[in-house]
Structures are given as structure tokens and as C-alpha cells.
Amino acid sequence: MKSSVTKVFRKKLDELPASESLKQELLHYAKAVSQETLLQKKRRSGILKGTFVLPLPDDFDEPLEVFKEYIE
């Protein structure tokens, strides 16, 4: 079963002037678009893991002196 978009596209394509150069140009465009979608790389999660490592001090998880009175 063809979608309504495909039906409309084919109808409009048939209504175009009999210019073969125009139809050829549309064919080249369709091929280029389909190749672009094939060439796009898929993103992978976690590809940069471990790349940005900050030097954290050993007492990073310890409470700060500034907040001692709030903690107590």
C-alpha cells in the first residue's frame, strides 16, 4: 500500500513538463539525498568517556569548612 505522499508525488511528477533535463535533475537530487542519509554516522553514547578527567583532590567528598556550622 502506497502512502498518500507517494501518490501525490507521482502525480506531480507526471504533471511536470516533458523536459527530460528537469526529470533527470530530480533523479540526481533524489540519489544525492539518499546517499547523504546513508553516509551519516550514528552517534554512540559513551564515546568520550574518560577523555575529560579533572584532577580532583583526595578530600573532594569531604564537607567544606564554610558549611560546617550548617551541618552541625
How high is the pLDDT of residue 12?
A: 80
CA–CA separation, 58 and 60 (whole Å): 6
pLDDT (tens digit per residue) in 26-57: 888 888 877 776 666 777 788 888 777 788 88
Cα distances (Å, whole numbers) of residue 4 to 8, 9, 25, 30, 69: 6, 8, 23, 19, 69
How high is the pLDDT of residue 30?
A: 82
Whether this model's pTM surpasses 0.85: no
How high is the pLDDT of residue 10?
A: 80
The answer on pLDDT for 18 being more than 80 is no
